[in-house]
Chains A and B, each alone.
Chain A
Amino acid sequence: MNRKEWREVGGQCLYFVLALAAMALLLKGVDLLMGVMGFVQSKPLEGEKLIIILGAWLLMFSMFLGLSPFAMDSKQKGMEYLLTLPYSRRRLLIIKFMPRLAAIVLFYLAFVLLYGSMGNGALAGGFTIFSLAYFALFFISFSLAVVDENFIVQSIWAGIALCGYTVICLYIVFLGFSWKFGMPSSWFGSNLWQDLSYDPPTLLSAIAVFLLIAAPFLASFFLAFKKFDLKPSRAFNRRHLRIFAPLLLLALAGSLGVTYLVQKSSAYDEADFHILGDQRLLKISFAGKLTLYEETGRQRIKITGLISWEPLLLEQKERLFLSGFDSKDETRFIGCLSLADLSWRILHRCPNRYVVIPGYQGFRYDGESFVYLRRSRAEAERPGLDNDPVVRTEDMELVRVDPAGGKERTIAFKNPLFNRYYEPNFIGSDVLNGLRFWLVAHKWHHVLRLWEDGRVEDLGLSKGIPAYAGGLLFTRGDNSLKVLRLLASGSETVKEISGDFKVNVFFNRSLAIGNVREIYVERNKRIVRIDLATLAVDDVAPDRGHIWMTSSGEFYYVEFETWPGGANDKWKKLYRLQDSKRVFLKQFDFNDDGYGHIFVDTCGVILRQVKMKNSTVSRTRTRAFAFPDLHELRFTGLN
């Protein structure tokens, strides 16, 4: 009997592989034919697209194999004969189950190998969900193998069960997120899943949930099958359901319990901290929370909407400008928080029909206005399953928003080079001959200058993100740093400095860094100073840490105890970089409070310590130190 089953499963697997090969050949054939006939340019089937097709095929195969254990026997009119063989019902089911499970595992392993070699980003964080759904679909389908004699009816039931199963599992997983972050579960969507699928506690609890909820299907089927016979399926289905329902409730309770225990014990507060000019501390938690800390206490600032915050955009007098994404209407916005009365208003919303560059790179401050680049969402492409749309067209708009009243002005640009820039970064802004311009760059591409009057200038190639300071543009070449002076039209090369440079320090949200006279960058793994007047390069110290530049144009250096940093590090040191000197400011000791991360801001330094236990975050501790003397600020309720 075993041999018969293995042979049958082998035949079904071969059938699927041949069908898949035939489909691939057909697709390729059609593609080639279209190319030959001149309709489309024949392109190779990308790895990621192939993986997605394979993945969909595998899900169908999983369902088919799950529903098929008795299909062949029924087709051959051998069900009566089968039930008279000298096997118990349970043994019969195991004989049916094992070869199919082996085939499912084998195909999955083959898919994993292919995924690793050609389609790594295809399913993004969804690979975990795909894997769980693949096995769950098999278990669920197997448990419905005798729900009806008709295969189509069986498939429909399997599809309905899988949908219900997925909804339940995802709901519990999202509940886990809400316990982890202390926010309502309605906040969380698939984007968050993609990020958190690499978080061990989330992954472990999600796997536990998916397996626990799938277990009742299989367990109840095995238990009910003891009474399986050839009476009309309704009788068996009723019995199956009577066993399934309590098992499902038990599994639900178990899943909720496991998720709660795991996620609560690894509760994590993903947040940005900013020391304000009045030495209060602003905490921006990504899932919608804004909290203001003072010595005497804290204040939660209530903002309506499902907001994912970005780091602080600008502090100006008694106002804080913040940007974020509102999941309610799926718009990005700039808002203003008054520090006097903690009132909040939206200054500007980017309509949903546009795509704004994602992340904190989107909205910037150029010294006069907030600026951002946007494109029409209708022209977006979506390679793979990445949720961020990619737009490659020749059109781009720059929007300026006045901080005072929110008045906006849009400048439309059109240039063939834009279709290579799907994530253009602002790297600087300035005024020349009374006309403002913005510098925009994309890794490995040309630097573009966008003029206020709508002109676009190509300033040449940069192999790596360039930098702009003191009227000079720093672009990267092969083992060199090129310094260009920007003219009213074009630029002139002032100097080319050899070396392996890293100039990735100019990423403040404000493009207006003041009148700097020197910059500090890394060359050949050492910190060097470049005088902006003479372009002299002075060696400062070995680079065993990070260089920071504040929005006021001051440079700091954080030295690690070991480089690039180890879990057992006990300290980090902060230096001021000025006039080619490295001036020691303070040593931050971690003690036993966990590894410390240093963030240098205009008004001070944030030390955030994270203690890990069994690869999960067990505790976080935040400390703030204010410039100029880096005395520690104490806040009630901060930790």
Chain B
Amino acid sequence: MSQPILEVHDLSLSFSRKKVLDRLEFSLRRGEWAVIAGRNGVGKSTLLRCLAGVLLPDAGAVARSPEACPAKTGFISDRLSLFEDLTIGQAVAFHRRVFAIDDFDDRLLGRLGVKQKERIRSLSAGERAILHLSLVLSQKPSLLLVDEVLHMLDPYIRDLFIEALIEAMTAQETAVLTVNHTFSEIERLPERVLVMEEGRFVVDETPEALRGMMKKVVCRGPLPNGLPCFFSKGEGEYKEYFIYPFSEDLRAAHALDFQDIALPEIIKAFIGGGYEQKRMA
């Protein structure tokens, strides 16, 4: 197993009195794709900004390997922050100068048909996302941090985006850490799924492991005792119960139909469970 390219120890950050990151710990290896999920306001984007250097933690440390220095770290925020008064050509020239980039691959931009003289403020969200991706990929980054941008993109651009990420991972063994709410396009891509709750990770598993750890039961009436129900939904006669953590012993003990569920639904259950816990707290 390769050495971690990024290690986070005891990371804490607060906004005023509100604790957003609470002694968070995790690490990321070279070439690994991890996705962070969780409900709104739980600290996902804050974590990414912290790792990118936009926010500075109140406590804890972010240790990077030399290959993940700031010049080799790319960050695409959900705000797609760039200097909006610049034209595409100026932005590319600026980025190349600052990051000492010899050549710039404009294939992605070319496929969108945008002109070099267009100002960034006049681009759509999708075009801006592709531009931003082109810029950070030109750095040949060892670490790529991508906040939730996929939902802004049309299906064509979304595919372009994902293809570019995959190409970077393949060619440069770029470690990718993304924040996602939707998993339908990328279900098979990430190697790790991290679910965030109350400023720390409550789940850190591979997708396969997660599918084995959560099952769904549809019942009429209440759930039998002894089953660890993480989350339930449904208002009608039948209710869906999400069992977590699931083990094969439970299947033997209860004559119920434990259904396999897809990753997107697992994530949704974790998020829903998080909201329920917040309501009950």
Q: Which of A223-231, A393-401, A512-520, A548-556 contacts B (4 or more CB under 8 A)?
A: A223-231
List residues of chain B with CB within 8 A of the CB of A4: 94
A1 touches B82 (CB 8 A): no
B16 touches A83 (CB 8 A): no
| Chain A residue at minimum C-beta to C-beta distance from B72 | A86
Stretch at the interface among A72-80, A178-186, A500-508: A72-80
Interface flag for B241 (CB, 8 Å):
no
Q: Interface majority SS on A: helix, strand, loop or mixed?
A: loop
Contacts A1-B98, A3-B97: A86 and B69 contacting too (C-beta < 8 A)? Answer: yes
B contact residues, range? 20 to 34
List B145-183 residues whose CB lies under 8 Å from chain A.
none
CA gap between A601 and B269 in the complex, in Å: 106
Question: Is B85 part of the contact surface with A, judged by Cβ < 8 Å?
Answer: yes
Cβ distance A244 to chain B, nearest Cβ, rounded Å: 19
A-chain residues with CB within 8 Å of residue B71 when the two chains form the complex = 86
Which chain B residue shows the least CB distance to A2? Answer: B97
Q: Does B201 contact A (CB under 8 A)?
A: no
B227 CB–A CB distance under 8 Å: no
CA distance A1 to B91 in the complex (A): 11
Query: Is B94 touching A76 in the complex (CB atoms < 8 A)?
Result: no
- The smallest beta-carbon distance between A228 and chain B, in angstroms, is 8
| Interface pair B84/A78, CB less than 8 Å apart | yes
Q: In the docked arrangement, what's the CA distance between A84 and B79, Å?
A: 13
* Residues of B close to A232: CB separation below 8 A: 15-16
User: In chain B, residues 41-68, which have Cβ atoms closer than 8 Å to a Cβ of chain A?
Assistant: 49, 52-56
Whether B99 is near chain A, meaning CB under 8 Å from some CB there, is: yes
**With a CB–CB cut-off of 8 A, which chain A residues contact B83?**
73, 76, 78, 81
| Nearest Cβ on chain B to A308's Cβ, whole angstroms | 56
Q: Which of B55, B70, B81 contacts A81 (CB 8 A)?
A: B81
Q: How far is the CB of A95 from chain B (nearest CB, A)?
A: 11
Contact B85 A84 (CB under 8 A): no
> Considering the chains assembled together, what is the distance between the CA atoms of A554 and B90 in angstroms?
86
Interface residues of B in 61-111 (CB under 8 A from A): 69-71, 73, 75, 77, 79, 81-86, 94, 97-99
Interface residues of A in 535-587 (CB under 8 A from B): none
Q: How far is the CA of A84 from the CA of B84 in the complex (A)?
A: 16
Q: Measured between alpha carbons, how far is A3 from B77 in the docked complex, in Å?
A: 25
- Chain B residue contacts of A1, Cβ below 8 A: 94, 97-98
**A85 interfacial contact with B, CB 8 Å:** yes
Roughly how many angstroms separate A76 CA and B54 CA in the complex, as a whole number?
16
Evaluate contact between A78 and B81: CB separation under 8 angstroms.
yes
How far apart are the CA atoms of A76 and B77 in the complex, in Å? 15
The complex places the Cα of A234 from the Cα of B73 at a distance, in Å, of: 29
Q: A1-21 toward B: CB 8 Å interface, digit per residue (1/0)?
A: 101100000000000000000
Cα distance A80–B136 when bound, in Å? 14
A229 to B16 alpha-carbon distance, docked (Å) = 14
Complex CA–CA separation, A435 to B55 (angstroms): 91
Q: Which of B56, B75, B97 contacts A84 (CB 8 A)?
A: B75
**Chain B residues with CB under 8 A of A81:** 81-83
CB of B132, distance to nearest CB on chain A (Å): 9
The interface residues of chain B lying within 8 Å CB-to-CB of A227 are 56
Chain A 325-346 against B: per-residue CB contact (8 Å), 1 yes, 0 no?
Answer: 0000000000000000000000
Q: Give B266 Cβ to nearest chain A Cβ, in Å.
A: 31
**7 interchain pairs (CB within 8 A)?**
A72-B85, A76-B82, A77-B84, A83-B52, A84-B73, A84-B75, A227-B56
Please give the residue numbers on chain A whose beta carbons come within 8 Å of chain B beta carbons, in ascending order.
Answer: 1, 3-4, 72-73, 76-81, 83-86, 227-232, 234
Beyond A76-B83, A84-B73, A86-B70, 17 extra complex contacts between A and B, CB < 8 Å: A1-B94, A1-B97, A3-B97, A4-B94, A76-B84, A76-B85, A76-B86, A77-B82, A79-B81, A83-B54, A84-B52, A84-B70, A85-B70, A86-B69, A86-B71, A227-B56, A229-B54
